[in-house]
Copies of this chain bind each other. A is one copy, B any other.
Amino acid sequence: MNTTDIINIIGTAAFAISGYLVGFRKRLDILGVVIVALLTAVGGGMIRDVLVGQIPQVFTHNTALIVIFITLFTAWLLRLHTRQRRALATLFIVADAIGLAAFSITGAQVGLGLDLNVFGVITLGFVTAVGGGIVRDMLVNDVPIILRKDFYGSIAILIGAGLYLLDRLGWANAFTLNLLFGLGLATRLLVHRWGLGLPGFQNHGHGTDSNIPD
């Protein structure tokens, strides 16, 4: 199991938790919660695989499915969804940010493996990272987080561009991947904390909103 596998598993578990929390917030039954968590965790990867004409990995490999069910069972044992609102909101943001950073990297890596140009590498990182969250929000009829938070998708783009650059320079290795993952995660959390939008875009002051509204 290499660095990419581990980053992938962390992202899968994190997006499964974000889907689990959204499912409970929307008062879905157990089947509904499982479906939302499942598709949040694998949706982005499926879109990425379809984009390059491959059978979605999750259709043939069971790793992601096993990770998701262990995560959901653990979350349920720990009764994550019964914590108070403030703790839940923080947990959701952190899990979502981990998934965003992790899948930006693994998606961009698929592009590098296929010898795509910089546009292809960034696009694959982007759809892998934001696809799951978009599917999650659409399944529960929310406006997707990426349409509400301008800087969200930009982080996926920056990570993809960073990885492409590292690869061209011959500097892509376990250490720089972890560094990129940490930088992306930190940026997302700081942007959330400081309530930043992308300068110049119309920013309607999203800084104070919570993803776990009442």
A interface with B by C-beta (< 8 Å): 27-32, 38, 46, 49-56, 58-62, 65, 111, 114-117, 119-120, 123, 198-202
Contacts and interface: CB of A to CB of B under 8 A. Distances in A.
Q: A interface, by DSSP: helix, strand, loop or mixed? A: loop
A19 B137 CA distance: 27
Contacts of A114: 55, 59
Contact of A199 (B29, B53, B115): B29
A115 B53 contact: no
A120 B58 contact: yes
A32 B198 CA distance: 10
A29 B201 CA distance: 6
Nearest to A55: B52
A46 B52 CA distance: 10
Most chain B beta-carbon neighbours within 10 Å: one of A52, A54, A114: A52
Given A50-B50, A50-B51, A51-B50, A120 B29 contact: no
A56 to B, nearest CB: 7
B55 A53 contact: yes
Given A49-B53, A59-B116, 19 more contacts: A28-B201, A29-B198, A29-B199, A32-B201, A50-B50, A50-B51, A52-B55, A52-B56, A53-B53, A53-B54, A58-B119, A59-B111, A59-B117, A60-B115, A60-B116, A60-B120, A61-B117, A62-B117, A65-B119
